[in-house]
């Protein structure tokens, strides 16, 4: 039985790795030939595109910049509440903590399309009450995405702290640490790997989600984001739109290139988080 289970586990792992390799190979086969400056900026020069001197009509630069801004805004809105809630649930036990935990579990079960509908209805409500000029925009999309990724941050933070050995807390208390000092100097650095794993998961979800942004402000050919209340472009929606309505092979190839760029962007964000985690662990362990 043990050998059979090990064989099944190896077969399942091989199937998953084979599927991932096939998907990455397919995207690389069609996306690598078009990967370059022309894919990003089209007929516009790098300087004119980056500094908004001329619009980019046949490149993915506005969608790339919009996705990056969207991820940064989402994490700015979700990071502190997510980590704070996770720390509170890990260090507190009571009726309030149980109610908050149930609310987080309920939020985690909300589909992304429902979150997008919530943002759309929120704008309709604001138009009829407090802000008649309110419209869908990048800050609304970031707010809805922050609600969508918040449970991942809460759960990973709570799980990482609760999985630490009890000796960590006893050692800190024996040294006279207060609760904030215990968290800052001992518990959070020790749980940093799991917490940053949740942050990477949240960033990946924010970068690739399409259902939320379709209803909260993404528009094809809207250009670079002009502000928090402006429309925006994003790579996931550009890929979806291109796959549904491409006119020729060049446009389809640009869609494959955009998909490959989105994967590379997610990998870059995860690599940056991994580097931060490694640096935090080295400082915590006293390694220079």
Q: Could you write out the DSSP letters of every residue in 177-189?
A: --HHHHIIIIIHH
Domain that holds residue 273: 64-285
Q: How far is the CA of 5 from the CAs of 2, 54, 167, in angstroms?
A: 5, 60, 35
Strand partners, 218: 232
Dihedral Cα 129, 134, 136, 142, nearest 10 deg: -80
Residue 41 lies in a domain: no
182 to 64, 133, 168, 259: CA distances (angstroms) = 40, 47, 9, 43
Burial (CB < 10 A; 0-12, 13-18, 19+), residue 190, is middle
Q: Which helix (H) or strand (E) holds 126?
A: helix 112-128
**Mean pLDDT in consecutive groups of 10 residues from the start of the chain, 288 residues:** 88 92 90 89 86 84 92 94 93 86 90 92 89 88 94 92 85 82 83 84 88 89 85 92 85 90 86 75 64
Structural domains of the chain, count: 1
**Using an 8 Å Cβ cutoff, are 93 and 110 in contact?**
no
Q: Which domain CATH number covers 200?
A: 1.10.3720.10
- Does residue 154 belong to any structural domain of this protein? yes
In-domain check, residue 7: no
Residue 23: how many CA atoms within 13 Å on its side-chain side? 9
Residue 209, C-beta contacts closer than 8 angstroms, at least 6 positions apart: 112, 145, 148, 236
- Is residue 256 included in any domain, yes or no? yes
Q: Are 100 and 82 in contact (CB under 8 A)?
A: no
170 is a domain residue: yes
**C-beta separation of 136 from 128 below 8 A:** no
For 232, phi then psi, to 5°, come to -155, 165
59 CB-contact burial (10 Å; exposed 0-12 / middle 13-18 / buried 19+) = buried
Q: How many CB atoms lie within 10 A of CB 17?
A: 10
Q: Of 232, 185, 242, which Cα lies nearest the Cα of 70?
A: 232
Q: Which two tokens stand for residue 180?
A: 């904030």
User: Is the Cβ–Cβ distance between 212 and 148 less than 8 Å?
Assistant: yes
Domain membership of residue 11 (yes or no) is no
In angstroms, what CA-CA distances link 146 with 50, 134, 227, 251, 279? 27, 20, 18, 32, 26
**Residue 51 within a domain:** no
Residue 134 pLDDT: 84
CA atoms of 147 and 187, how far apart (whole Å): 26
Judge whether 140 lies within some domain: yes
User: How far apart are alpha carbons 251 and 221 in whole angstroms?
Assistant: 14
230, 32 Cβ separation under 8 angstroms: no
């Amino acid at each position: 039985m043990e050998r059979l289970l090990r064989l099944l586990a190896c077969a399942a792992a091989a199937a998953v790795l084979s599927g991932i390799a096939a998907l990455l190979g397919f995207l690389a086969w069609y996306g690598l030939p078009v990967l370059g400056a022309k894919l990003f900026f089209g007929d516009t020069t790098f300087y004119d595109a980056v500094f908004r001197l001329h619009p980019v009509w046949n490149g993915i630069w506005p969608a790339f910049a919009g996705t990056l801004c969207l991820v940064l805004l989402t994490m700015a809105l979700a990071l502190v509440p997510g980590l704070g809630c996770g720390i509170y649930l890990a260090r507190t036990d009571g009726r309030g903590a149980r109610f908050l935990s149930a609310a987080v579990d309920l939020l985690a079960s909300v589909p992304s399309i429902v979150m997008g509908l919530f943002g759309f209805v929120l704008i309709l409500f604001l138009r009829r009450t407090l802000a008649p000029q309110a419209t869908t925009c990048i800050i609304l999309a970031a707010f809805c995405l922050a609600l969508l990724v918040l449970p991942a941050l809460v759960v990973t933070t709570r799980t990482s702290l609760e999985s630490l050995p009890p000796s960590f807390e006893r050692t800190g208390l024996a040294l006279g640490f207060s609760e904030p000092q215990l968290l800052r100097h001992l518990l959070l650095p020790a749980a940093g790997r799991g917490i940053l794993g949740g942050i990477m998961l949240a960033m990946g979800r924010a970068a690739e989600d399409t259902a939320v942004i379709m209803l909260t402000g993404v528009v094809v050919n809207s250009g670079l984001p002009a502000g928090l209340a402006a429309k925006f472009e994003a790579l996931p929606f550009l890929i979806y739109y291109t796959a549904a309505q491409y006119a020729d092979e060049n446009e389809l190839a640009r869609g494959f290139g955009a998909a490959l760029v989105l994967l590379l962007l997610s990998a870059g964000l995860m690599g940056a988080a991994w580097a931060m985690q490694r640096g935090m662990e080295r400082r915590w362990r006293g390694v220079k």
